[in-house]
Structure formats: C-alpha cells, structure tokens
Amino acid sequence: MLMTHNNPVIEIRNLVRRYGRTDAVDGLSLSVPAGRCYGFFGRNGAGKTTSIKCLLNLLRPTSGEVRVFGMDPAREEVAVKSRISYVPDNVAFYPWMTVRDALGYFASFRPKWNSETERALLEQFRLDPRQKTSHLSKGQRTQLALVIAICPEPELLILDEPTSGLDPIVRREFIRTVIGAYQDADPGRRTVFVSTHLISEFEGLIDQFTIIDRGREVLTLDADAARARHEKSLEEIFVTTLQPHGVTA
C-alpha cells in the first residue's frame, strides 16, 4: 500500500492481549502519522512491549486490530517487516559471529544497506568489527543493534527502550545524532516509534506521545501542545499523569 501523509504508519484499534486472566493490553488505541517521532510512554509492565510485539506479529492480539502501513502484520508479514527495523530491549546475536559477521548477516536480508552510515556509526560507537559479539557488553550489543537497524534506511524505526544499556554520554549522543540524522535524511517519510521511560532524554525529538498505564491509553497529545497547556516538560507531564489524582486528559 502506498503511504501518504494522510495515512497513519501505525494504527492500533481496541487492542487487547490477554495472558490467562491478566490483560497486558486492555483496549489500547493510537495512531502514528508518517514522519513523526512518536513517544510511547509508560512504567515497566504497562503493556508497551506487548503492544509492540503485536505490531510485529511476534504475538497475536486476543482481540482488536493492528495495522502497519495499512497492512495486517499477521497476513502481510514480509511486506510489513521489509519496511521496518526493530531494536528490542534485550539484544542478542549468534555468539560465534564477529561484529562484521553480524553486520553482513543482517545486510544480506535487506535490499538496501548504507555502508557509509555503517562506517560512521561503527567509528562513533567505537565498535571493533573483529570483536566477537559474545564479548560485547550490553551497551555495545545495543549499539550494534542500532547500527543494524539504521543502515537499511527503513521507513519505520521501532525502538523498545533503545538506550537502557547505554551510559548517559552515549545515550545523549545516540539520541541527538543518530535518531535525528535518521529522520533528517528523508523528512516526512521516516517515522520513529520509541518506547521509553527515559523521557527527558528524548524531550527535543518527540513530536507526539501516548502515555499508557495497565495496558490502557491515559493521555495522547502533541508534544508542543502538551508543554504549552501544562507548562511542564514531557517527563513532568508523564509523572503527573500517572499520579493517583493527576492529569488524565
């Protein structure tokens, strides 16, 4: 399906994902326009990762609908996944591979791969292509996963707590130079959907956001409108919203 600015890149309608008697996601709805950096905020256990896994057809919804580029990811999985990159919270690679092996392996599945971006990011993150992935720290594995996600120049970048394994200096550098550069290279077409609790570090990039709690949407706003309305940072809005008597709309 050809996407236009009027078509949402991600659309979730009344999503429910149940584990036994527990609703990890409970009637969630949201819509992500093309070309935006969309924040998906919530405490640990709020249902963020489960929602993302439903988008990626890693989990089947109990009920409700998810669409990516207007397509059902369960029925058109290859068409959907060929246009996206995903970095999970916990990153793992085949332990016998070197960094170079891992890059070559993932590049072999992609029709496009920006080798110049690869070289620049390896240098920026100081990753040695000869090093075994089994010898990388958690932060280095996350860095390698980010390189692998960005080099194919996907239309949609889905990040689940992408900076949780990085030290504060590298986090800031990654957010400002990597995500910013990814979007700036093709404005209006490249979309970022980022699940995080480190909201302050994404403050300058987030265009729109949804806060969820216990699998439900409690607040969705344009970031600039939110700051103007509440005269607070996004992190302060997040904290206030999730307080027992905080803002809910």
The answer to whether 30 and 51 have CB atoms below 8 angstroms apart is: no
What is residue 244's predicted lDDT score, i.e. its pLDDT? 64
Residue 187 clears pLDDT 90, i.e. is over it: no
What is residue 76's predicted lDDT score, i.e. its pLDDT? 97
Picking from 55-69, 79-93, 103-117, 198-212, which range would have the lowest pLDDT averaged per residue?
198-212
pLDDT in tens, 95-149: 999 999 999 999 999 999 999 999 999 998 899 999 999 999 988 998 899 999 9
What is residue 67's predicted lDDT score, i.e. its pLDDT? 98
Residue 1 clears pLDDT 70, i.e. is over it: no
At 247, is the pLDDT very low, low, confident or very high (cuts 50, 70, 90)?
Answer: very low
The answer to whether 215 and 52 have CB atoms below 8 angstroms apart is: no
pLDDT in tens, 163-174: 776 777 777 777
Measured in whole angstroms, the distance separating CA 132 from the mean position of its chain's CA atoms is 26
Mean pLDDT of 195-200: 84
Closest of 212, 208, 214 to residue 248, by C-alpha = 212
Domains, the chain, ranges and CATH? 1-83+195-249 (3.40.50.300)
What is residue 246's predicted lDDT score, i.e. its pLDDT? 46
Biggest CA-to-CA distance, the chain: 54
Residue 2 clears pLDDT 60, i.e. is over it: no
Return the percentage of the chain with pLDDT > 70, whole number: 95
Integer Cα distance of 29 and 212 in angstroms? 10
What is residue 169's predicted lDDT score, i.e. its pLDDT? 75
What is residue 243's predicted lDDT score, i.e. its pLDDT? 81
Which of 152 and 3 is assigned the larger pLDDT? Answer: 152
Closest of 179, 104, 191, 120 to residue 154, by C-alpha = 191
What's the mean pLDDT when you consider all of the chain? 89
The 3-class secondary structure across 26-95, one letter per residue, is EEEEEEEECCCEEEEECCCCCCHHHHHHHHCCCCCCCEEEEEECCECCCCCHHHHHCCEEEECCCCCCCC
The answer to whether 150 and 178 have CB atoms below 8 angstroms apart is: yes
How many CB atoms are located within 10 Å of the residue 139 CB? 17
CA angle 195, 200, 204 (to 5 degrees): 90
What is residue 184's predicted lDDT score, i.e. its pLDDT? 81
**Three-class DSSP category at 237:** helix
At 6, is the pLDDT very low, low, confident or very high (cuts 50, 70, 90)?
Answer: low
What is residue 162's predicted lDDT score, i.e. its pLDDT? 82
